[in-house]
């Protein structure tokens, strides 16, 4: 079973790497935002696998933070600023 976890972690980092190819080369700015989504979900999966593989339950907390903060990053990217100094 640990072998399966290790190979799964490898598969996840491989899929992350493949996704990064698109992120780095992608034509538009939105493509780079996909990086947040990609790393957000793939990273959470990888962290959960690593937490069981390396026997570190704290990594599950890291996965939670990663999931939440990836959403914050997406919101930061797409927030529309008020044009005037009306604030």
Partner 1 sequence: MTTSAMLILDILMVLSLLSLAAAALATSDARRSVILFMAFGLVLALAWARLQAPDVALAEAAIGAGLSGALLLAAVREQPRPALPDDTKTVHHRDHSSPKLLLEWTVTLLCIVVAGVLAWALAQAFDRAPQDTLAQAVNENLATSGVSNPVTAVLLNFRAYDTLLELAVLLTAVLGIFALGPARPGYRAAGPVFGGLVHWLVPVLILTAAYLLWVGAHAPGGAFQAGATLAAAGVVLRLAGQRTVGLPQGRTLYLVVAAGVGMFLVVGLSLLLLGRPFLGYPPAWAGGLILLIETAAMLAIAATLVLAFLGGRPQPPRTNVTGGKPLATLISTLSPRSRQGLSGADAPGAEPHKHFSEDNSQC
Partner 2 sequence: MIEIMSSLLIVSGLGFYLAGSIGLLRLPDLYSRLHALTKADNLGLGLLTGGLALYTQDLLIALKLVLIWLAVLAASAASAHLIAQHARRRETQS
> Could you say which of 29, 82, 86, 87 contacts partner 2 (CB under 8 A)?
29
> Could you say which of 58, 68, 86, 87 contacts partner 2 (CB under 8 A)?
68
- Does residue number 59 form part of the binding site for partner 2 (CB under 8 A)? no
Which residue, 22 or 84, has its beta carbon nearer to partner 2? 22
DSSP string, 8-38: HHHHHHHHHHHHHHHHHH-SSHHHHHHHHHH
Q: How far is the CB of 87 from partner 2 (least distance, A)?
A: 21
* CA nearest neighbour of 59 among 4, 5, 20, 18: 5
């Amino acid at each position: 079973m640990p072998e399966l976890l290790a190979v799964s972690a490898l598969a996840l980092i491989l899929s992350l790497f493949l996704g990064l190819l698109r992120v780095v080369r992608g034509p538009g700015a939105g493509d780079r935002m996909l990086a947040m989504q990609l790393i957000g979900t793939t990273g959470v999966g990888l962290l959960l696998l690593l937490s069981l593989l390396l026997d570190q339950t704290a990594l599950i907390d890291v996965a939670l933070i990663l999931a939440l903060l990836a959403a914050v990053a997406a919101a930061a990217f797409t927030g529309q600023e008020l044009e005037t100094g009306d604030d």
